[in-house]
Amino acid sequence: MVHVYSCHPFASQQIVPAEQEPGLMCCGGGALFVVATGGCKVEAYGMGQEGCPLICRFATMGTVKSIRHSNIGDYLVTIEEKNSATYLRAYTNWRYQAQEKARVGVRLLGHLLRGAALHGAPKEQMEIIEIPLWEHPLAVACCPVTGDLLVGCPRTLGLFTLKRQSQQQTAPNQSISVLDFERSLILHLPGLTPQQVALCSGYIAVQSELEVLVLKLDTIPDLKNKQIAASLDTHTEGCETNQDPDGFLFLPRHQELLGGRARECGLEVILEQTGLDERGTFTFTYILYRRFAPDFFQGCSVEEMRLHSLQLHPVFTGNGDACGGEEPACVFCFCSLPTTGYLYSLRGGVELLSAYQYPEKAQEAALTDHFLHVITKNALQCFTVRCAAVAARAKDPYIDTTMKACPPSSLEVCALRIQLFIGLRTLCVDGRRVALLSAADIDTPEETERSARRELEFKEHTTLTGIFLAVGIEPSNTPALESFLSRPFLNRKWSRPKEPSAVGAGHGWNLYVVDTVSPLALYEEMVEYSGRYEETNCLHLLSEAHLLLRASLLQTRPAHTHPDTHTNRRELEDAFRQSCAQLGDCYSRSDQKHCHLALPYYRMSGLSVTDVIARNHPLPSSPGFYGPGFLFYLRHFLLEETREILSQETADNVVEIFSQSEPSQLVGVCASRCMVLASPASALSRLRRLEAATAVSVPLTVTMATMALRMADQPAYRQLMERHAEMLQVYGFIEEPRLLLHTGVQDTPTHSTTHTPYEDTHTHVRTHPPPEVLQPHPTVLALHLSATQPGLLVASMVALQQNYKVKLEQADTVFKELGCEDSLLVDFWEGMLMASSQEAVIQELLFRLASVYIDRLTPPQAPPPQAPSPQAPPTQAPTPEVQGRSRSLKTADDLISSCSHYGGLFPWVSVLTPPSTKPNMEQEALHKLQSVLCGPSLEVCSILPLLDGVSEDTMEGLSLHLLCSTRQGHYESSMEKLLDRCPQAIIPYANHQLQDTHMSLWWQKLLPELCDRTRTSPENSILLAALKETLVVVAMEMSPLEFLELLPDDGTAQYFLPHILACSQRQLIA
């Protein structure tokens, strides 16, 4: 379906002052090139200047049959005919022909003018490059991205690469750059005769009468094969019209093959690489194949049912342009039948975007970024295109999300205007200008002779009838006489000869240049025009206007530094924001299917929530209720944490809107950070009304308690918080975490600077900071809980982290903002350690807790004394960190019993550091650190650098160092330290640590060490007792002979005899 709107895309028209009737024309580079009918001269006119003045004219070497212009290289290429031979020639530096008596150089492809040919010649001269071909050319096309040349010949295509070569002049250090071509590739198409060809950024399109084939050329480096045949089904009989012996006519059936399926088209393609391309060897991929079946019910004859206007059109989205070597973001293919045009998107998946149904038979069409221009016999038609919608999605992955939106590429097209002309023949387009050639119909000689004969017969009949009447005879009363007068009496030899001037008299032609209006002016007209339509058509027309601005922003890139360009871009950006706001308004009142689009369009408009609320009013049919799209926008705005804080008036208005339209969303609305200025009394009254109408829920109760807290109504707050147990309240915070945390950036302005639309893909005045910038901050309720119910706060934060509502680092920030980094933050880590099951998180938490415990055991170091500055005020003495700390929520015994990562203290540790009857924070930290070291999870190596600050002079420090040494397997050194510092702990240590594989240390290390020490200190009862216990263990583990070998030579037999007997008796029993 094609929508028709009476807009005015055409601004003005000029008549080109051509002296002879044009036969061919093309345009490009701001110039219109005209070839007179049957002539050998090209005239160039300035399309962008007033009156289209003549730029230059130059003669060609033959009769021009086809002409094309390339913006890259600014050259012309022609197919010429002379003496029944067809030639392909390129004309470079044609603008120098504006000078009188300018020289012209003629050379062959690849043969630059050298030596005497350039000696004394001016640097500026037009060159004619003769391009030899293996067959006569049928069609030619230039690549708008690279300037390469594609030539279509019967059954083959030739690709010529544009080259720029520097050529030395006679003067020293002087060179000029000249254009040349290199024949790079020949494509053999045995089953297709090209009538039109197109080339764009590696894409090749070929068109016959009813077939279109699109290929994509690629290069593979270091590939040895110079000829690659993509052998597909070579059976191409279905591609042509055949006639069987019985006289039946077979017509091809319709076929459309997209993407990888196009290789099934049955057309064989063979590549023959002929150039020395440094990029590698060419390969190709089938992209699109379409064969059209003739449809004689559309008012077209067999001769008229053929394709025309093949075009490959690139769209760029970067800061560069085609001249800078930028690859196009999208490439589109257009072809047309007399009654229907087809537009395909090729890059990123082949897709039919639009099918254009013409109201009458089209003769030619041209595709641009903004429009599709089509000419019929007596009209110029302008259709909208979907190139900008495809390009926007190719550039920005956030299109079609809650952040950004764009009208779909499948949006139905519309015709903006039908401009009447007489006898249109052809058109060409350059930018925003359309060149048209019109000529009045000229009768054929047969028709002229037939008209003259009828005129003479009528005059003869009138004369004879007058003669009969003069003599009194009425011919109508005599049938025989009437029959006689009805016969023609004049033979052909009596017919009046045709005068030479009669045929040409009154017939004329005109060459027009039509300017299209600026996109901004057309957008404003379309917006004004949309007010006359109902909602559906209004939305369609506003979407068309939006795509028009997107296409203009793609063309007007920020890289352009001209001040007029900057001014125009700013105007386009303002209009774009206005367009987004208008589309947001439409979708805010739309049905449920598309109402979600109000959110991204309002975001792209840069409007604040206050502005959006002012633009939306209750539905006329339901007072007090708003459109679903508007409510969807408000919900998402309040759910997403942003920088914007609503004023009290706006916030109260939002509460009122949801209380009327969606009361079930009130809890989330009141919990939003944007609503912190809302009146708590008004919100509480509506929440109580909601509670009365629905069942009681924990989030609702906690939200009501928050409002009471903001009102400083402590009795009401306590009464509401006591309704539910703390565990249920934890579940309530999981359901609505914003009751505890608000994500945002503090001390930031409400509005940020405006981004340019196509740098951030379309303007966000209220920008959303990157995820790493957004940090959670505690709410008023969280601050109150930290002082009154710290256990509930810690349990809730642990639950939020486990349910992926907050990250570990973000929770650290929250507790630091609460001023509880020395107490509740440690309690949070301990709670996380009990709940977490991820090894990486466990090790991180153990390291943090060990660091805190060690820090609490380390005396604070006073800063070095500094001389007071006379300008600085006196500072207070540093307060020890221990002061002001509150007790932990869980003791070491609680953690040992509830957390597997905390282990019970080893017996020898209790001997070194007996529990204190008056526990303090340092004693609690020591107990927890020892428990962590006694547990199975902590990687001891990670905290060894931290223990360097803990002295071994105290028993507390010694116990920590011994625990680490033992965990590392340093048993011998640990036993030596114990024997030196606390020998009474050596047996508990040995009983606990020297087991299994380490049992041999009893007699290899401990027994010799005790013997040596008792020898030097025979009165030491602790060492003697330890020696006795060691002998008992050794005697139980060894045979009598082995035991005797271990005894010292100077030992007393009476002392060791009982142990020897015990060892012997154990062996006898065994």
- Give the span between the Cα atoms of 571 and 945, in whole angstroms: 62
Strand order in the sheet with 139-142: 139-142, 149-153, 156-168, 175-188, 269-273, 229-230
Residue from 1015, 1021, 906 nearest 964 by CA: 906
Residue from 90, 169, 172, 101 nearest 128 by CA: 90
CB 735 within 8 A of CB 633: no
Neighbours of 957 (CB within 10 A): 18
pLDDT at residue 727 greater than cutoff 50: yes
How high is the mean pLDDT of the chain? Answer: 82
Lowest mean pLDDT among 139-153, 186-200, 921-935, 1014-1028: 1014-1028
| 506 confidence band (pLDDT: 50, 70, 90) | very low
- Give the span between the Cα atoms of 712 and 681, in whole angstroms: 11
Q: Which two tokens stand for residue 366?
A: 């041209």
Per-residue pLDDT, averaged over 520-538, amounts to: 82
pLDDT reported for residue 249 = 55
pLDDT at residue 880 greater than cutoff 50: no
pLDDT reported for residue 232 = 35
pLDDT at residue 284 greater than cutoff 70: yes
Lowest mean pLDDT among 135-149, 305-319, 320-334, 1033-1047: 320-334
pLDDT at residue 26 greater than cutoff 60: yes
982-987 LR contacts (CB < 8 Å, sep 24+): 982/911, 982/912, 982/955, 982/958, 983/1020, 983/1022, 983/1023, 983/1026, 984/911, 984/1022, 984/1026, 985/908, 985/911, 985/912, 986/908, 986/1026, 987/1025, 987/1026, 987/1029, 987/1030
Q: Which two tokens stand for residue 237?
A: 């009989």
- Give the span between the Cα atoms of 48 and 434, in whole angstroms: 11
Per-residue pLDDT, averaged over 890-909, amounts to: 92
pLDDT reported for residue 117 = 47
pLDDT at residue 235 greater than cutoff 60: no
pLDDT at residue 473 greater than cutoff 50: yes
User: Is the model more confident about 285 or about 317?
Assistant: 285
Lowest mean pLDDT among 52-56, 890-894, 1043-1047: 1043-1047
- The most confident of the ranges 618-627, 787-796, 1052-1061 is 787-796
Taking only the tens place, the pLDDT of each residue in 961-981 is 999 999 999 999 999 999 999
State percent of the chain over pLDDT 70.
78
Strand bridging mode 3-4 / 414-420: parallel
Task: Show the beta-strand stretches assigned E in 377-465.
Answer: 379-384, 414-420, 424-430, 433-439
pTM score, two decimals? 0.76
Lowest mean pLDDT among 109-118, 606-615, 895-904: 109-118
CB 529 within 8 A of CB 5: yes
pLDDT reported for residue 796 = 95
- Give the span between the Cα atoms of 372 and 101, in whole angstroms: 41
Taking only the tens place, the pLDDT of each residue in 646-695 is 999 999 999 999 998 889 999 999 999 999 999 999 999 999 999 998 88
pLDDT reported for residue 27 = 93
Taking only the tens place, the pLDDT of each residue in 512-522 is 999 999 999 99
| 873 confidence band (pLDDT: 50, 70, 90) | very low
Lowest mean pLDDT among 2-11, 141-150, 412-421, 746-755: 746-755
pLDDT at residue 621 greater than cutoff 70: no
Lowest mean pLDDT among 84-88, 116-120, 895-899, 934-938: 116-120
pLDDT at residue 391 greater than cutoff 60: yes
Task: With both helix axes pointing from N to C terminus, report the angle between 824-835 and 808-817 in degrees, rounded to the nearest 10.
Answer: 160
Which stretch of DSSP H or E encloses residue 1000? none
| 907 confidence band (pLDDT: 50, 70, 90) | very high
Per-residue pLDDT, averaged over 167-171, amounts to: 55
pLDDT reported for residue 630 = 92
pLDDT reported for residue 509 = 87
pLDDT reported for residue 807 = 92
Per-residue pLDDT, averaged over 616-643, amounts to: 81
Calculate Rg over the CA atoms of the chain: 47
pLDDT reported for residue 347 = 85
Exposure of 425 in the CB half-sphere (CA atoms within 13 A): 18
Per-residue pLDDT, averaged over 1040-1056, amounts to: 77
pLDDT reported for residue 385 = 93
Phi, psi of 974 (to 5 degrees): -65, -40
| 279 confidence band (pLDDT: 50, 70, 90) | low
| 642 confidence band (pLDDT: 50, 70, 90) | confident
